[in-house]
Amino acid sequence: MGPVPIKPATILAPMAGITDTVFRRLIRNQGHCGLIMTEFTSSHGVIGSDGGRRKKSFNYLSFEPEEHPISSQLFGSDPQVMADAARICQDLGFDAVDINFGCPVKKVTKCNGGSGCLRDLGLVRSILETVKSALTIPLTMKFRAGWNDRELVHVKMAQMAEDIGVAAIALHPRTREQGYSGLSDWSRIAEIKAAVKIPVIGNGDILTPEDAVRMVRQTGCDAVMIGRAASSNPWIFRQINEYLETGSYWEPAEVDRHEIMSTYYRMLDEEEMPDTIGKMKQFASYFTHGVRNGAKLRVDIYHAKSSQQIRDLVDHFFTRELVAA
């Protein structure tokens, strides 16, 4: 990705409400993830309405040295504001800046942010050119195939990015109209791979190591980006590496689920993250995916009143389950 090596060629996708510094470090600790990304952050939120930095947005952009290589992701529709925010991210020490042209959420698209920009390629060009001129670190972008199936722009977007000097591009091949429904059309990733020479990152519907390998074989993409699957399976990057090396991979047992939940909850407590209890309840749904009697633990955690109570519930639950096994 420009001068930044991404080894292995696996990337943790930016996910709002998920990829904060604690979760990113949890993923880093499992190994074999080549690049991690921040939650997508409003460019206006970074610089503030008066040109000053806003504290709330800087919570999204805080990171620790062990997170490198790390990219910040920004969204917005004002080219100069985007450039100013990108320059701040560069000053903070990020290895790259990524622009979000993919978010399908209405409150973002109605202001021409995220995939809303896909309806105005002139605006996309202006944003990319202005931000690129403000940076010395690599600029990348993540985008969708188009606003809907009648307005596909993924090939034009890819070629424009290459012309401007964008270092790498990531395609989620659904349209904005699809949201997260239906299946990703990986043939669209193959189309942009055939159209440009810069690195192409494939994203969408990678749930297992087999999916990651199949995407590369079908599309020729240079790297894979994994989002929702990593929230319930933080070991997926390790599994991909093992699958490539041996043709099989390790599967987490109940004791591993216990360890990952305990570790994450301890990290949240130590970090004193905003809404620690809310985060614990949110991630209980992810981390108990596939756990025997996990629904009972989720209900108990939902009704808990303190972080210590939640941590005790997790320990007691898994102690009982391991004994029963």
- Give the bridge partners for 206, in sequence order: none
Whole-angstrom distance, CA of residue 111 vs CA of residue 302: 34
Residue 212 tokens, joined:
């990651």
Name the percent of the chain in helix, strand, coil, to the closest 5: 50, 15, 35
> What's the gap between Cα 39 and its chain centre?
7
Letter string b/e over residues 53-91, b meaning 16 or more CB atoms within 10 A of that residue's CB: ebeebeebbebeeebebbbbbbbbbbbebbbbbbbbbbe
Sign of CA dihedral 132, 33, 170, 67: negative
- Chain position carrying tokens 């209980």: 284
Is 111 one of the annotated active-site residues of the chain?
no
Cβ proximity of 162 and 189 under 8 Å: no
| Active-site choice (103, 111, 117, 221) | 103
**Closest to 45 measured CA to CA, from 13, 17, 73:** 73
Catalytic residues: 103
